[in-house]
Amino acid sequence: TTMTWLLLLILLPVVGLVMYFVFGENLRKKNSKKIQKMKDALLKADDTRAAYDLVYQIEEQKKWLDSEASDAFFNRDDKQAIRLLLNSGNTPVTMGNDLKIFEEGISKFEKLLEDISKAEKHIHMEYYIIKDDNMGNRLREALIERARAGVKIKILYDPIGCYPLLITRRHFFGSMRAEGIEIFAFMQDKRLYYRNINYRNHRKIAIIDGKVGYLGGINIGDEYVHEDPRFGFWRDTHLRFEGNAVVMLQMVFLQDWYHRTGRSEFRKSYFHVFEEPKGPTTVQIVASGTDSEHPTIYQSFFYNITHAQQSVYIQSPYFVPDEALLMALKSAVLSGVDVKIMFPGIPDHFTVYHASQSYLSEIAELGAKVYIYKKGFIHSKVMMVDHEFASVGTANMDVRSFKINAEINALIYDDETLCHLYDMFDRDLRNCELLDPDVYLKKTIRRRFVEGACRLFSPIL
């Protein structure tokens, strides 16, 4: 990253200086005091035991993982992976969850609207993209109906992801605010707005009454339900939870709400107590961003790739790893691990797409199998390792997701859900074309130049 900035400043000093002013600041370091202040607010909340219970659960879970009692639930590598994220991200593993997997946007959106229509107390939503189109307006109308019924609603949106909406936001957001719905742009500080542009809230989560939670790759817009002719069929992965994983989703949202508004609202009424298991799924919710001490999602990916014994399967619309993660994947390939990467055949961002092509060709030459998705556009963000671990969420396989954006993933450890995800991957392979490494070796000089130039700026894409 340092070399990229230096080269840009040398070649284009004026442009480079402006770009560094906008994109170069390390907000994780800058926010260290704010992170501690947020934790203090969490632990000193007057009207809830939720924060204290969470800390107690983390400490108890660390002891439990060290005991033989946990051997019946997790193998040694899984326990190490869980312990890593307990220590770096304060994220306990939750058991007894019911989980539903959506493979495309229509089914997810209809179920979300159904859950919203049943809300009785509160709805919390946080999305990177919300559009003023058919899907966006159906959501807006559903939320207004619930607000009129007395349901308290909070929404966080990303000002860059929702940039097209800003033209009509007075009508779109104004009509909701008029009904008492609280809406804020995440990290939008007017005094430092342009210094925050590079740091985006890429999360896509919803929590209804503290009982039902959603996370995954599907935003709010017509393209996510196959209505954009440029992309056609939109393949994605999104999750719906019932169970203790929802408690962790709620905690992430309320931390983000505090980070944006300065208001501590860790209320007991927001955290539903699940007396009985809702299902068989074991889940660890992991969030990372400038408001977290460590890049926890990146650490999870790195750990699981470097400990892979049999297979690593990846679906991502972007593939721009840093040198450490690229070396981990190369080492896995060279050690005999079956590495498969599924990537879209349709570009949606020119620079990132061509930078990704450069990295994919490099790893394909070593023996990784790269599959190009042909049915439409694949936006799914999934990684599976050794039929023992899966990650599903908002994080792409790129530097931006791992070290810049606010992201959230669900780490899954139970056999039933893993089998479902592997079956989905196998079905997707039927709509893919295996990339021939020899084709990459015959690239034109022009294509090599374009990919090399795009790759040069990959640390700041």
Residues annotated as part of the active site = 202, 204, 209, 379, 381, 386
Distance CA 365, CA 441 (A): 9
Distance CA 264, CA 44 (A): 9
Distance CA 22, CA 186 (A): 17
Distance CA 2, CA 9 (A): 11
- Dihedral angle sign, alpha carbons of residues 352, 356, 357, 362: positive
Distance CA 451, CA 456 (A): 9
Give the residue from 293, 332, 390 showing the smallest Cα distance to 81: 390
SS3 11: helix
Give the residue from 128, 298, 260 showing the smallest Cα distance to 204: 128
What is the number of residues in the chain? Answer: 461
Distance CA 133, CA 395 (A): 25
Distance CA 197, CA 161 (A): 10
CA distances 329 to 175, 180, 434, Å, are 48, 49, 18
H helix and E strand count, the chain: 17, 19
